[in-house]
Amino acid sequence: MENLSPWQKFKNNIGDTRPWHIIYKEHYVDDSLLQSRLKICGECPNFIKMTSQCKKCGCIMKLKGLLKEAVCPIGKW
């Protein structure tokens, strides 16, 4: 991998999803897909249960998991 700064690595890990997407319901997945994503996250060693955050991207997964464009930074969903 290239010599990326920590900020560049962080930006790469969050993908195309942006915080403001959460206010538009047309960006949401259905409940079954959300639950599937959260189950996968809950079993991942990079998931911080106390805050529901991912150690890789820093996102709150209960919110990021809602978004159609969102992807797991390590490719689990």
Which residues does the chain have with pLDDT short of 50?
none
Which amino acid makes up residue 25?
A: K
Render pLDDT for 19-38 as a digit per residue (tens, 0 to 9). 777 888 988 999 999 999 99
pLDDT value of residue 14: 65
Phi, psi of 20 (to 5 degrees): -70, -15
Q: How far apart are CA 27 and CA 6, in angstroms?
A: 28
The model carries a pTM of 0.74
